[in-house]
Structure 1
Amino acid sequence: MARVLEFKLPDLGEGLTEAEIVRWLVEVGDVVAIDQPVVEVETAKAMVEVPCPYGGVVTARYGAEGEELPVGAPLITVAVGATEPGAAPEAPAPAPESGEAEGSGNVLVGYGTTAPAARRRRIRRDDPALPAPATVNGSATTPTPSTPSAPLTPSASPAFSAPSATQTLRPAAEAPAPAPSVPVPDGPVAVISPLVRKLARDKGVDLRRVAGSGRDGLILRADVERAITAEATPTAEPSFTEPSPAQPSPAPALVVAPSPAGERVPLRGVRGAVAAKLSRSRQEIPDATCWVDADATELMAARTAMNAAGGPKVSLLALLARICTAALARFPELNSTVDTAAREIVRLPGVHLGFAAQTDRGLVVPVVRDAHGRTAESLTAEFARLTEVARKGALTPADLTGGTFTLNNYGVFGVDGSTPIINHPEAAMLGVGRIIPKPWVHQGELAVRQVVQLSLTFDHRVCDGGTAGGFLRYVADCVEQPAVLLRTL
């Protein structure tokens, strides 16, 4: 006799409370193995695959791609033992303890699993071991007597009625709308969540006449809001006033319709996390910025000589990171954080160096652990590894947290200078502009040299301008004369 177990979105750690479904890796009817990834989700920290701790047949999925679920919300139900001939699933049971045989207990996102993913097998819809699936918002599922969170179940919205096991759920009747702008589809309309369906019903928007901008025509909240705005916008018509016999006829007054609402982009995932952190930095940290131009000709020549000597190539970013760690050893005030509750400055013993990396999903700041103990070659290799992982969207929460100082090389965008925002809760960030030929006075004569602008934004609570200026001047000296670094090696 099969048992149906419900797998919920696990605690993701690092203070994360929700995740957005990016891509389902299984469908209803698939056979999954213990610890096989079943869904790909995006959190405020990274994009990760969620492994299911149970093995069996998927009987239901909750949530559509693009929908955001809170921690603890149901993800899927699995019929354990349903692949045996004649087996029939029972009502969903609560998740077993980690010591039971049905599951592995490996449910934390981003920390890996122990068993390799097994091949999926499609189960025929007429398999006697499975109940007939229903359809909810375009996703296959099966009715279950368990009570998931309200936004995820058909009963959470008045637009749904309790279906039979073979009945397809359809939206409730919506109010009539103006002439259709898109072809009217047959069957149920796919929307991203019941809340969007409720919004359309409350505002009198016919979902069958709304063009969805989501994946495979999925109707998003922004689509419904645009439809509401379009219906509420009056048509621009001339408005005339009737003149009195004793007055001349006034010129016609033209009433211009307001411009349509702009595109709305949800602040969630990585972009939402960046926005929250930068806003908090501006609200809490009294920052100040100082900058200096430096002659980087000798640094560029030193790098060329290093790479010509053979062995792994050394990147310019690695040399700048090595200079930063040496400077932080001389000015430890900038490798610190502020405990506002205790009203204390906490100076940190090691340098965990963050570096800003631009990806297709937005700006991320991976962290190089123990950068103060690494060589230029080791730093180069770690920068390359983390950058590649970031571009794939596979950074874990551990890769993105725990930084103590950030290096921001915005020169790759072709700009000379910037005033960076400190990566809260750190105390400082060094910005590096592009290195370009410029006129420079060298040894008393005007010459063309490779010049770079360096900027330091620092928390004025941890140090004064003298300390910040001393740090930045030391960095500039090392850029201009790399031999200065030999004193600290």
Structure 2
Amino acid sequence: MAQVLEFKLPDLGEGLTEAEIVRWLVQVGDVVAVDQPVVEVETAKAMVEVPCPYGGVVTARFGEEGTELPVGAPLLTVAVGPQSSAGEPEGSGNVLVGYGTGAPPARRRRVRPTVPGRPAGGPADDGADGRVAPAVGRGPQRHNGTVATAVVAQPVRPEGPVPVISPLVRRLARENGLDLRELTGSGPDGLILRADVEYALRAAAQRPVAPAPAPAAPVTAPVASGGTRIPLKGIRGAVADKLSRSRHEIPDATCWVDADATELMRARAAMNAAGGAKISLIALLARICTAALARFPELNSTVDMAAREVVQLDEVHLGFAAQTERGLVVPVVRDAHARDAEALTAEFARLTEAARTGGLTPGELTGGTFTLNNYGVFGVDGSTPIINHPEAAMLGVGRIVPKPWVHEGELAVRQVVQLSLTFDHRVCDGGTAGGFLRYVADCVEQPAVLLRTL
């Protein structure tokens, strides 16, 4: 006898609490195999195809394309075939970032709220497309043009923190003066989701407000009108949150220097003329970064304010800024300090292509310890980049252009680049930051300096 199992949105990576449905890959009634991708979602980190751990017939889908779902929310239900000999439904056993399929999750009973003209206690399906009516307590439900608000008795909450899906939800409520104890969570065991807080805020905004007394004198103020509102969500929203946090928490400072990159460009040309795989310029700059970080490890660190400690890291996981059609992403080259220029070139190329196609995994976008930002590709000379929180520094590289330069006592045209270092002033002083940047500039001007570290 077939058994209907509920597949929930799994944990897709460190710190991710929700994802947006971009494209359904299956329809209700389709037959799916174990580990077959069933939906494409966008998180704050990347686009991900989510595989289903069960094989069978899709009986329902939850959420239209463009809908945001929290981790743990139902994605779809699958009617599976006969059970295994142990009495457990067959699953893939695979793990997707902390999500296992060894045992099926218990199904939550969904109840349709009573609405005029329709008896209570009907089936959960809300049409041929398999959508399911939202759980009671999520707000107004619309049927045949009539809005009916579900009424749920408020449970008596115990003393202590109210359970919420993430700290971001708690902060959202706090910043808007919303008492979480007045809400009924629609998540498992009354867990308060982001959608619950947003619904409560919308409802509060729609309540009539007593008119304020007229001012003694007319006051005029500019009123903005028109324009296009663009939601800050997905990658764009994650970038906004991270940059805002960096500016709020990190006391950063920037120093910069112009360097003659003529010899570095000649060295690269000689390497590529010798045959074999071509060496990219960013790979050479990355090799210089790792050598500089070995001399100045203070800049390969993070700050633990709770413990009031600077944590110097042993490995260099080098992030690099990559611009894509979906926004700025920062892929991470793992163990960059242990790779030579050829290996770095190959890894940069692989991650750049994955970023362009939206195929980066959450693991390839997290865990960086230092970032290299080659903004020269945009045709600009300099910048004061914002540190990629929780890292301690970022090296910026401008465009390399011919400029007049004094070389060996004579005026000459040389290939000049501006280098900038933005650093967390809590981890070091200007002397250390300046020493790091000067060493990088020396390696750019005289690549033979790197021979000491090879």
**TM-score range relative to shorter protein:** 0.7 to 0.9
Distance 1:278 1:284 in 2: 10
TM-score by length of 1: 0.69
Task: Work out whether residues 110 and 396 of structure 1, in 8 Å CA contact, stay in contact via their aligned partners in 2.
Answer: no
Kindly provide the CA deviation profile for residues 212-238 of structure 1, in whole angstroms up to 9, marking residues without a partner as x: xxxxxxxxx9xxx9xxxxxxxxxxxxx
Distance 1:399 1:354 in 2: 9
Task: Work out whether residues 110 and 397 of structure 1, in 8 Å CA contact, stay in contact via their aligned partners in 2.
Answer: no
Asked if 1:141 corresponds to 2:106, the answer is no
Distance 2:96 2:376 in 1: 38
Tell me the equivalent position of 2:140: 157
Asked if 1:264 corresponds to 2:229, the answer is yes
Structure 1 residue ranges without an equivalent (≥5): 83-95, 114-131, 161-169, 175-220, 226-254
Distance 1:110 1:290 in 2: 42
Report the residue type matching 2:130 in the other structure: T
Distance 1:143 1:456 in 2: 53
Task: Work out whether residues 286 and 372 of structure 2, in 8 Å CA contact, stay in contact via their aligned partners in 1.
Answer: yes
Asked if 1:106 corresponds to 2:94, the answer is yes
Distance 1:334 1:361 in 2: 30
Superposition deviation, residue 108 in structure 1: 2.0
Distance 2:291 2:403 in 1: 27
Tell me the equivalent position of 2:72: 72
Task: Work out whether residues 141 and 147 of structure 2, in 8 Å CA contact, stay in contact via their aligned partners in 1.
Answer: no
Tell me the equivalent position of 2:343: 378
Superposition deviation, residue 104 in structure 1: 1.9
Task: Work out whether residues 73 and 149 of structure 1, in 8 Å CA contact, stay in contact via their aligned partners in 2.
Answer: no
Tell me the equivalent position of 1:34: 34
2:89 is paired with a residue of what secondary structure?
Answer: coil
Task: Work out whether residues 320 and 371 of structure 2, in 8 Å CA contact, stay in contact via their aligned partners in 1.
Answer: yes
Asked if 1:293 corresponds to 2:258, the answer is yes
The 1:143/1:296 distance shift into structure 2, 3 A limit, reads closer
Report the residue type matching 1:329 in the other structure: A
Task: Work out whether residues 74 and 148 of structure 1, in 8 Å CA contact, stay in contact via their aligned partners in 2.
Answer: no
Task: Work out whether residues 13 and 363 of structure 2, in 8 Å CA contact, stay in contact via their aligned partners in 1.
Answer: no
Superposition deviation, residue 143 in structure 1: 5.9
Superposition deviation, residue 444 in structure 1: 1.0
Task: Work out whether residues 296 and 435 of structure 1, in 8 Å CA contact, stay in contact via their aligned partners in 2.
Answer: yes
- Residue number among 458, 461, 468 corresponding to 2:433 in the alignment: 468
Task: Work out whether residues 49 and 109 of structure 1, in 8 Å CA contact, stay in contact via their aligned partners in 2.
Answer: no
Asked if 1:25 corresponds to 2:25, the answer is yes
Distance 2:409 2:224 in 1: 61
Report the residue type matching 2:256 in the other structure: W
The 1:143/1:328 distance shift into structure 2, 3 A limit, reads closer
2:129 is paired with a residue of what secondary structure?
Answer: strand
Report the residue type matching 1:171 in the other structure: G
The 1:47/1:142 distance shift into structure 2, 3 A limit, reads closer
1:462 is paired with a residue of what secondary structure?
Answer: coil
2:59 is paired with a residue of what secondary structure?
Answer: strand
Tell me the equivalent position of 1:313: 278
Tell me the equivalent position of 1:362: 327
The 1:62/1:346 distance shift into structure 2, 3 A limit, reads same
Distance 1:143 1:351 in 2: 48
Runs of 4+ with >6 A deviation: 110-113
Structure 2 residue ranges without an equivalent (≥5): 102-122, 149-197, 203-219
1:278 is paired with a residue of what secondary structure?
Answer: helix
Distance 1:44 1:34 in 2: 27
Distance 1:109 1:39 in 2: 17
- Residue number among 400, 404, 422 corresponding to 1:439 in the alignment: 404
Greater Cα radius of gyration, structure 1 or 2? 1
Report the residue type matching 1:486 in the other structure: L
TM-score by length of 2: 0.75
- Residue number among 140, 143, 146 corresponding to 1:172 in the alignment: 146
Q: CA RMSD in A?
A: 2.9
1:158 is paired with a residue of what secondary structure?
Answer: strand
The 1:149/1:274 distance shift into structure 2, 3 A limit, reads farther
